[in-house]
Amino acid sequence: MLLVIDVGNSNTVVGLYEGEELLNHWRVRTVADHTIDEYGMLILNLYRTSKVGSKTINNIIISCVVPSMLNILEPLCKKYFHVTPLIVGPGIRTGMPIYYDNPKEVGADRVVNAVAGHEKYKGDLIIVDFGTATTFDFITKKGEYMGGCIAPGVVIASHALFEKASKLPPVELSRPKSVVAKDTVSSMQAGIMFGYAGLVDGIVDRIKKETKTESTVIATGGLAEVIAPETRTIDFVDEMLTLEGLRIIFLRNK
């Protein structure tokens, strides 16, 4: 059994694989000031209450964009699962050349997504990850990571709107009936939802033009299914892309 852990700035996603099959997965908040035992009991309880909780976890791989979380997760894996985890970072074998000025600057999640995307979809790819930040990455059909761009995430932008504008309330991220809205909440929803759809389409169009490709566009991340239907450029939504990438990288380093 392989436990895969993807630590993002807002959420941590945990998956459980047997061979190529994803048996179960969970999404929890990333809380950097939790103790080793708090996180250990949380993950252990999720695992034990699953249908496969009687099976043994033999291996663990972690991708993490919150460095302080590794100080929790590494000892947690040893204490609760008796496993030394594989950490996605410099020196790990990904099977993918990274053409970034400083490859060490590329977030582990972006590399993992790129590996999974190329393995699963082939061809030229643009991967859009809707996380705390919204990232765009271009991967060639040869399996080369070429770079990309980073924009503020949907939730960050939404929070900034009501935090900085005193008369605007917090709103749920859902599709309004019309872009010409008739009330404040719907107006904010229209601006956020359709605005982000426009941002995605605009950046994807620019990447395709600059790279002279008709890349397949894959969306992943917690809000992918919310934003993707409002775009015209996203071809597929694959929420488990990062977990699949972790599984593939683990096998390449086994």
Q: What are the catalytic residues?
A: 109
Question: DSSP 3-state assignment of 193?
Answer: helix
H helical segments located in 86-142: 108-121
- Which residue shows structure tokens 């410099």? 90
User: CA 82, CA 132: separation in Å to the nearest integer?
Assistant: 31
Cα distances (angstroms) measured from residue 67 to each of 8, 63, 87, 88, 107: 10, 10, 11, 12, 11
CA-based nearest residue to 62, from 129, 1, 4: 4
**Torsion from C-alpha of 67, 106, 14, 172, nearest 10 degrees:** 100
User: CA 205, CA 110: separation in Å to the nearest integer?
Assistant: 20
Pairing mode, strands 145-152 and 125-130: unpaired
